[in-house]
Structure 1
Amino acid sequence: MNKTDRQLAIILELQRMTLLRAEDLAATFETSVRTIYRDIGALCEAGVPIIGAPGQGYCLVEGYFLPPVSFTAEEAVTLLLGMDFIEQQFDAAYRSKASSSRGKLEVILPEAVRKEADKVRAGMRLITGGALRNGRRAEELALLRQAIVEERTIYFRYEGRAPGANGERITSREADPYGMVFVRGAWMLIAYCHLRRELRHFLLTRMKDIELLDAVFSRPSDFNLQTYAPPDDRNTLVRVLFRQELALKVKEYNYYYADMMEDTAEGLLVTLRVRKPEEVLHWVLGWGEGAVILSPDSLRIRAREEIESMLKRY
């Protein structure tokens, strides 16, 4: 690594870490401590605001940020698409930040790169579905984001299916929000539920009357939203046979519960893996007479009852 690259890398390391000793930097870049001293001195002379704390190490003045040296057209398009997503799925505060970031990015791009990026982006469009056009939903997302950052307990009413019934029921909940996940076009809250005394998932579209409480909590040190994966307790298999002319549409649907699909002489055989068979009842019925439930028998009976109830309404 030459001197210029190393000095740039030192700045990036200092931006990433709060405090670094010369010995740490020397080990990282496989050079001597004396060389690091010279590099730090050269950077200071060039105007980089580095503070040296005797016996502790070096740090950058708070707020200093090294702008990117350059972007390729593909890198610029990647960032612009990310801003498109934020403008579609985040609240007003972040939509505003995305818009201003877009302007800054377009300003620093060289003209040739900007034109190439515009050409690539003209042939690409991001449509995430379920955009936050509802002002109330956007406010709720902002409130949940605040609760996650400040580690504050929330209160809300949650609409869910009543056990053993066709209707819905609403329960009052208090929960400690750990993070938000965007799944299949919808925001989902990962939170410790005080009522169930365990980690639960809550769809934002089913949450009502969200309030930020004064109570605070501490997120478990071993919880990492980026690596979190809920236990898969879908242990019941449902087998459904689709008419051959529906096979392509069923495959394109990419249904969450679909575990295996097999083309047969009779049609497309789909095996669904669920917690409760009733979870997929309305999806199967939505395909009309083009889908036949093969097993389990309990779901076949439940489907027949639903169809008979529908007939009474027509």
Structure 2
Amino acid sequence: MDITKRFHRILAIYFQLQGKSVVKAQDLAERFGVSLRTIYRDMRALEQAGIPIYGEAGTGYGLSEGYKLAPASFTKEEILSLAASEKLMQKFVDHHMFLNFSTAIGKVRSYLRYSDKSNMMTLEENMWMSSTNFMFNEKVPEALSVLFEGISLRKIIQMEYRAVHRETANTRRIEPVGVFHESHFWYFVAYCHLRETHRHFRIDRIQKIMLTDEPFSRVHKPLNHYIEKQDAHPSIRISISVDKTYARYLQWDRMHFGFTSEEVSDQTVIMTFQSSNSIQEFARWYIRFADCARILEPDSLKDCVREILQNIKV
């Protein structure tokens, strides 16, 4: 059993090497749940099998340029996952990137047997994803693609960007670091030449975008550095008591507001949050279910909810 597991792991490592220019041993160890020493042994096994690997422990591994094996066959499960991923891409990326992905999937299809193509079509015909046009500005269908290109080529991007507090857009020259999806929207981190610092932007607020030929003016840290820095902002402890019957309806949104723990009793669920959202934002979320919940702390949240309710016009 262990020999079989090792064989499949070594094979998977080989495909990782084929798909990336450099693969770090630490990343492989975390992916397969084994020690670094095990990964080093697997690398030696690949080398002994005649696979031309360059690199060393502590830096990264890759295949010698130009080395490729014949395309591998796909399992039934892998083929169905390709069909599902195309539907997901249609929902979660902009139109320009979806067309590129769809073309790539079309090339993969050309290698499949007739029965495999038929299985893909059957699944596709019976999957439906709701439209999420609000993720992107329809007038800028290539925004995500341009950002990815700027990140990979390390080229400066020029864009027209309208911040939430502005009526009109202004021109920004940015050096994009990375892209992430959170709370139904796509965001990206970039060094902004206008503000002379790294900023977070939302993709649907881009009005125009263009990749320039100018290289980055500086070296940037990985994306997770800037996301963790944002998460380190001051937060406030919030505690609410929710009727047990209704508590389950909050579980989908509560993570966005810094949910940390809950205490369940016969009648209620006490939820605790360490929220970096504004009191105003949390209050407006709380009002959605205020008839079946009670604020325990802080008093500032209670005051904010009262103020909002007093200003309601009916």
TM-score (norm 1): 0.66
Q: 1:88 maps to what in 2?
A: 91
Counterpart among 152, 156, 162 of residue 152 in structure 1? 156
Alpha-carbon distance change, 151 to 159 in structure 1, aligned in 2, over 3 angstroms: same
Matches within 5 A, 1:134-145: 135-145=138-148
State the Cα deviation string for residues 191-232 of structure 1 (Å, max 9, x = none): 1234554332211234445566676424526x2347864232
Counterpart among 107, 112, 115 of residue 110 in structure 2? 107
Matches within 5 A, 1:262-273: 262-273=263-274
Which letter maps to 1:181?
Answer: F
Q: Secondary structure at the match of 1:192?
A: strand
Q: 1:236 maps to what in 2?
A: 236
- More displaced stretch, 194-203 vs 112-121: 112-121
- More displaced stretch, 148-157 vs 273-282: 148-157
Matches within 5 A, 1:170-189: 172=170, 174-189=173-188
Cα separation, 2, equivalents of 1:135 and 1:235: 35
Compute the displacement of 1:127 (Å): 5.8
Q: 1:49 maps to what in 2?
A: none
Which letter maps to 1:180?
Answer: V
User: Is 2:159–2:206's contact at 8 Å kept on the other side of the alignment?
Assistant: no
Compute the displacement of 1:283 (Å): 1.0
Which sections of structure 1, spanning at least 5 residues, go unmatched? 1-8, 19-25, 41-56, 162-167
Which sections of structure 2, spanning at least 5 residues, go unmatched? 1-12, 23-42, 53-62
Compute the displacement of 1:251 (Å): 2.0
Alpha-carbon distance change, 10 to 147 in structure 1, aligned in 2, over 3 angstroms: closer
Q: 1:246 maps to what in 2?
A: 246
Q: 1:277 maps to what in 2?
A: 279
Q: 1:224 maps to what in 2?
A: 222
Cα separation, 1, equivalents of 2:108 and 2:289: 47
Which letter maps to 2:273?
Answer: L
Identity over aligned pairs, percent: 21
- Count of residues in Structure 1 that have an aligned counterpart in Structure 2: 267
Cα separation, 1, equivalents of 2:281 and 2:15: 53
User: Is 1:90–1:138's contact at 8 Å kept on the other side of the alignment?
Assistant: no
Matches within 5 A, 1:297-308: 297-308=299-310
Which letter maps to 1:74?
Answer: E
Q: Secondary structure at the match of 1:249?
A: helix
User: Is 1:239–1:295's contact at 8 Å kept on the other side of the alignment?
Assistant: yes
Compute the displacement of 1:302 (Å): 1.4
Q: Secondary structure at the match of 1:159?
A: coil
Q: 1:199 maps to what in 2?
A: 198
Cα separation, 2, equivalents of 1:10 and 1:70: 15
User: Is 2:244–2:268's contact at 8 Å kept on the other side of the alignment?
Assistant: yes
State the Cα deviation string for residues 29-83 of structure 1 (Å, max 9, x = none): 444xxx96xx99xxxxxxxxxxxxxxxx97429xxx7552200011112223222
Cα separation, 2, equivalents of 1:58 and 1:238: 55
Cα separation, 2, equivalents of 1:58 and 1:301: 65
Alpha-carbon distance change, 15 to 227 in structure 1, aligned in 2, over 3 angstroms: same
Compute the displacement of 1:307 (Å): 0.7
State the Cα deviation string for residues 103-137 of structure 1 (Å, max 9, x = none): 33233223444455556667766668457675214
Alpha-carbon distance change, 156 to 91 in structure 1, aligned in 2, over 3 angstroms: same
Q: 1:98 maps to what in 2?
A: 101
Compute the displacement of 1:181 (Å): 1.6
TM-score (norm 2): 0.66
Compute the displacement of 1:177 (Å): 1.6
Q: Secondary structure at the match of 2:228?
A: coil
Q: Secondary structure at the match of 1:68?
A: coil
Cα separation, 1, equivalents of 2:14 and 2:308: 67
Q: Secondary structure at the match of 1:135?
A: coil
1:259 aligns with 2:260: yes
Which letter maps to 1:60?
Answer: G
Cα separation, 2, equivalents of 1:84 and 1:218: 38
Compute the displacement of 1:248 (Å): 1.4
Cα separation, 2, equivalents of 1:176 and 1:16: 23
